[in-house]
Chain A
Amino acid sequence: MKKTKFLNSLLVLGSLLFLPELAHAQSDSTEMADSGKAETSIEVVYTEINNNSKILTATVKTKIDDAYQGVKDIAVNFYQNEVDPAYLLGTVASNEKGLAVLVIPDGKLAPTAFENTFVAAVENNDKFEDNQEEITVSEADFTMTLSEEDSTRQVVISLQAPDAEGVMTPVAETEIHLYVQRLFGLLPLSDDPETTDENGEVTVEFPAGIPGDTAGNLIIVAKVEEHEQFGNLTFQRKINWGVPLVIDPNKDKRQLWSSRANAPIYLIVFINTMLIGIWGVIAYIIYQVFQIKKLGRQKTP
């Protein structure tokens, strides 16, 4: 059971990784170090999903043939506040694109005053120079409410953040992007992002006619992207507002291009009739040949 959920949750993660542009901080170094080790660039992105899952993504690249390419299987240490073993959140090896993703384990974060600094570091590597990059984000409360009245479907997004005293207050004038999750990306619900009003809210009518899965379910995604204060905030909800997908397993079942098991009935009937008819006669003739032989054995002249 848990594993299923785990895999599902990774789907969320997976979809994140396909976003081409994320809020990022980048450290560049192009010169070859004295030690003979290669230098790297690190990009760190902070993403928070549904005010809960906190994810750090570091992209480690190095210059190969005058082009930056992702470094595979490099260990990236993620820290809170500063590079110090006491603040280590986790170590992740990068994938073939140089991407290391850490889901910050719950309870690992030390309490801070509404603001967090995260560091991604490459340390003590055999081939690469030590390098690190940090990002600072402040807390936010990002929610989505879905409502349906008289066939009008509304998505309400609200964004709040603590003020200097730590009281949650609406954040106005912030761009909110609304999407529907699709297989290979996020389909924008409008051409331009919406902007929050003085209540920190955005209200959007959900368009009709967007396909969902067989149950009509789809995932609505709201995002604050590349925000200098919050990083990336994502809120997503699954709801059955889509047009249910109808799969007819019998559609095109018996066609000329179907598998052998699904050959068109008329072909099966026609060919077998021909086969039985003609080979029946052939079998009769062969039987007759044996009759000739039998007659030949009977009485000798």
Chain B
Amino acid sequence: MTSTNQNNRRDFLKKGLGIAAVAGSVTALRAFQQDSVELTGETVQLLSPQGEIVEIDKAYLKPIPEVHISPDEAREGIPGRRFVMVIDLAQCKNLRKCHDACEKMHHCGPDNEFLKVLKMQATELATPFWQPTMCFHCDEPPCVKVCPVDATYKRSDGIVLIDTNRCIGCRFCMVACPYSARTFDWSEPQLSEEVKHQHYSPETSVPAKKGTVSKCDFCPDVVRKGEMPHCVTACPNGVFYFGDENEDAVSNGAETVRLSELLRDRGGYRFMEDMGTKPRVYYLPPVNRAFPFEDDEFTKNKGSKS
């Protein structure tokens, strides 16, 4: 009984984000945590999205165990979703909270940045601006095309992932990516013991492995729980919008807007469109900026380019 329950629960989680969205809140119900399902006789009423009241035994209110998505399972996208990101360059002032949160959550360290915030300048006369870049999860990914062993792949939900258990470290994908989004573990990664022994999943990109490629993964592990990627939630200026293209909606945490309207009204574009890679990350141009551009200690003495 117990084991089938577990399996069912696991199936639900795998089947879709809609259901999995609860995992975050379920941990809040830990007070009811029990080791086996023994009916208590006490029931609680809960509400389903259909508006029905459901009466269930308290015993079922135990937290859903942390779901581990295996490398094979990670190849399937979350059904019915097409994840998309919009980055509002007018709002970015190089606070680098996105970068720090990403680094912390992926344990990737300064030599293996998944996310960069770069000083860009369209032409000499234009004011420079800060541009966060990461893996754009292209719809026609040149990196995936060239992988000889299916280690990096494109999922049905648009996310491009890497299975570092499969990767042979040829680095062809890094060369093929015109956005330099990929990074390589040239030596044994410096990880804490705890992280080192964490169960590996391509959805978390943790722990990193020597001699393999890694990159921004759009945080599908938290997306599965209904939360947005770490860079999105870390940004205090609402620079990052994330959402599902199928729902035509993106959210930056503070507001949820229609994707099509946002791109239409704000002149959304994709980086280096002429590469033909069809990125899933859009930019809103740095016009009507909230604050003036300021160099930081790294860029003060350096030129920039578009």
Q: Which residues of A contact B (CB under 8 A)?
A: 2-18, 20, 49-50, 52-53, 73, 75, 90-96, 99-101, 103, 105-106, 179-180, 182-188, 210-211, 213-214, 219, 236-238, 245, 247, 252, 255-260
Residue contact A10 to B22, C-beta cutoff 8 Å: yes
Report which residue of A4, A187, A236 has the largest number of chain B beta carbons within 10 angstroms of its beta carbon.
A187
CA distance A16 to B49 in the complex (A): 12
Q: Min CB distance, B293 to chain A, in Å?
A: 28
Q: Min CB distance, A89 to chain B, in Å?
A: 11
Closest 10 CB pairs of A and B: A185-B256, A9-B46, A10-B22, A185-B251, A5-B54, A182-B249, A257-B144, A184-B251, A101-B28, A53-B47
Q: Does B100 reach chain A (CB closer than 8 Å)?
A: no
Q: List 9 A-B contacts (CB under 8 A).
A: A2-B55, A2-B56, A7-B19, A17-B24, A18-B226, A50-B51, A186-B256, A187-B257, A211-B247
Which residue of B61, B228, B253 is within 8 Å of A20 (Cβ)? B253
Q: What is the 8 Å Cβ interface bit string for chain B, positions 129-169, against chain A (1 contact, 0 not)?
A: 00000000001111011000010011000000000000000
Q: Min CB distance, B265 to chain A, in Å?
A: 13
Residue contact A52 to B45, C-beta cutoff 8 Å: yes
Q: Min CB distance, B62 to chain A, in Å?
A: 11
Could you say which residues of chain B place their CB within 8 Å of the CB of A257?
A: 140-142, 144-145, 154
Which residue of A7, A106, A237 is within 8 Å of B22 (Cβ)? A7
CA distance A139 to B254 in the complex (A): 29
Residue contact A12 to B49, C-beta cutoff 8 Å: yes
Q: Which of B2-61 contact A (CB under 8 A)?
A: 5, 8-9, 12, 17-19, 21-22, 24-31, 42-57, 60-61
Q: Does B199 reach chain A (CB closer than 8 Å)?
A: no
Residue contact B19 to A5, C-beta cutoff 8 Å: no
Q: Does B258 reach chain A (CB closer than 8 Å)?
A: yes
Residue contact A184 to B46, C-beta cutoff 8 Å: no
Could you say which residues of chain A place their CB within 8 Å of the CB of B26?
A: 10
Q: Min CB distance, A53 to chain B, in Å?
A: 4
Q: Min CB distance, B250 to chain A, in Å?
A: 8
Residue contact A11 to B46, C-beta cutoff 8 Å: no
Closest to A234 in B: B47
Q: Min CB distance, A108 to chain B, in Å?
A: 9
Residue contact A3 to B56, C-beta cutoff 8 Å: yes
Q: Min CB distance, A124 to chain B, in Å?
A: 15
Among B213-221, B238-246, B279-287, the stretch in contact with A: B238-246
Which residue of A3, A11, A20, A255 is within 8 Å of B18 (Cβ)? A11
Which residue of B46, B141, B154, B251 is within 8 Å of A6 (Cβ)? B46
Residue contact A183 to B53, C-beta cutoff 8 Å: no
Residue contact A6 to B54, C-beta cutoff 8 Å: yes
Residue contact B60 to A93, C-beta cutoff 8 Å: no
Are A184 and B242 CB-contacts (below 8 A) given A211-B247, A238-B51?
yes
Q: Min CB distance, B21 to chain A, in Å?
A: 5
Could you say which residues of chain B place their CB within 8 Å of the CB of A17?
A: 24-25
Residue contact A12 to B80, C-beta cutoff 8 Å: no
| Inter-chain pairs besides A3-B56, A11-B21, A237-B51, 8 sampled, C-beta below 8 Å | A5-B54, A7-B19, A9-B46, A9-B47, A12-B49, A90-B31, A106-B43, A187-B258
